[in-house]
Structure 1
């Protein structure tokens, strides 16, 4: 495993040179590490000088410290599309600036406020608790997108270091019976995906994806598509990245 500061003096090559090297010679861990480093350097809202990058067999390991959960998520998403990335291990720690640190009670109050003002979230059905900057969401909603929206809304709050999403989706027997069909159709609708390479296994409202996709980006697209299908309560992603 090789390791390099994401914005350090060792980053001598231009972004274009690194990407071209990957395309011309095939991806190895050292070249991919440089590509990830360069991509983080170019990413808006990410302080790459505080992030370390390591790569082993195509799996990118991010570590270090950032000032917000939003920045941590942005750093993770920035590298999905890079050729050769087969997985991402994100161990970046959120350390808010002193001015952004708030008491747990205040974070809970702000989280409740943003949920209350979101038109698509049934805020009255969602519980909020905060401990040590970690917000835990609980309760029951009708759709997966409501569960995801609630998490996205509170993770942007200054001072939040992590969001534990324990919201469950209310079972609907008439929809659950068609989960497999809904997921397969959702995958087929995405022009970026070759759905014929993806195996969908359904047990009740729980979905398992397996098979192979050519990039990590497509793996995430497939997982998100499955989550968006009606009746899905849980998605296990066992997809392998194999160009």
Structure 2
């Protein structure tokens, strides 16, 4: 029996949002036996309770995030793996390595896996952003896992392409030629911007476009922003 509960001493709007989240959770077969409490205040949802596997935790958060009108979702759910489904850290690590190799198709040695009390940590570097996301996705439903810390970084080439695209979007179509003139260099997550930028007001847009990339650690501004005569 689903034991999802809701807190009703709240505003009518938050009450409606709470009910929508509860219904979303109840409709998910993977969550039908989980104990989850939903609390919404000022359109911000908090999920509390215990779930039997890490996949259920992710599914519950996604069910809440799907509700229109929810501003944010915080997961305070504890994963308590049933005794008959528990695995040793060594067993979990072997299973994770197999999944990364055969399901995520990552080359052997690209990802370092460490496991402690069921918590999995991924570290290393992959070529593309989708590989970083896929590495975590293929692990979510594996038995015995209580948490996943994805510390994978992506290649400098990927960051370079994405930062260039962000700069182009920031300057808009009318400024494509100026965007093309900006050279983006990336080394170990540090971005250096070079080239002419005659419109001084666009400098902040360009730098912000680079800084807002999740994999960028620092931005070195070497732009020439002297306005053309």
Partner of 1:6: 4
- Tell me the matched-pair count: 177
Does the CA-based 8 Å contact 1:68-1:161 persist in structure 2?
yes
Structure 2 residue 119 is the aligned partner of structure 1 residue 134: yes
Partner of 1:211: none
Structure 2 residue 151 is the aligned partner of structure 1 residue 166: yes
Structure 2 residue 161 is the aligned partner of structure 1 residue 175: yes
Which aligned pairs between 1:150-161 and structure 2 lie closer than 5 A? 150-161=135-146
Matched residue of 2:73: which SS? Answer: strand
Shift in Å, 1:123? 3.7
Q: Which has the larger radius of gyration?
A: 2
Shift in Å, 1:181? 4.7
Does the CA-based 8 Å contact 1:7-1:49 persist in structure 2?
no
Matched residue of 1:163: which SS? Answer: strand
Shift in Å, 1:174? 4.9
User: Aligned equivalents of 2:68 and 2:162: distance in 1?
Assistant: 36
Does the CA-based 8 Å contact 1:27-1:84 persist in structure 2?
no
Which aligned pairs between 1:21-36 and structure 2 lie closer than 5 A? 28-36=13-21
Listed as ranges, the gaps of 5+ residues in structure 2 are: 171-204, 217-229
The TM-score normalised by the length of structure 1 is 0.64
Render the CA deviation track for 1:97-120: whole Å, top value 9, x for unaligned. Answer: 111111111111111111121354
Does the CA-based 8 Å contact 1:53-1:62 persist in structure 2?
yes
User: Aligned equivalents of 2:125 and 2:90: distance in 1?
Assistant: 22
Matched residue of 1:63: which SS? Answer: strand
Which aligned pairs between 1:1-243 and structure 2 lie closer than 5 A? 6-7=4-5, 28-47=13-32, 50-118=35-103, 120-172=105-157, 174-175=160-161, 177-181=163-167, 201-203=208-210, 206-207=212-213, 233=215
User: Aligned equivalents of 1:156 and 1:53: distance in 2?
Assistant: 23
Structure 1 residues 182 and 111: alpha-carbon distance in aligned structure 2, compared to 1, 3 A threshold: farther
Question: What is the RMSD of the two structures over their aligned residues, measured on CA atoms?
Answer: 2.9
The TM-score normalised by the length of structure 2 is 0.68
Structure showing greater relative contact order (alpha-carbon pairs closer than 8 Å, 6 or more residues apart): 1
User: Aligned equivalents of 2:86 and 2:39: distance in 1?
Assistant: 30
User: Aligned equivalents of 1:174 and 1:233: distance in 2?
Assistant: 10
Matched residue of 1:92: which SS? Answer: strand
Matched residue of 2:115: which SS? Answer: strand
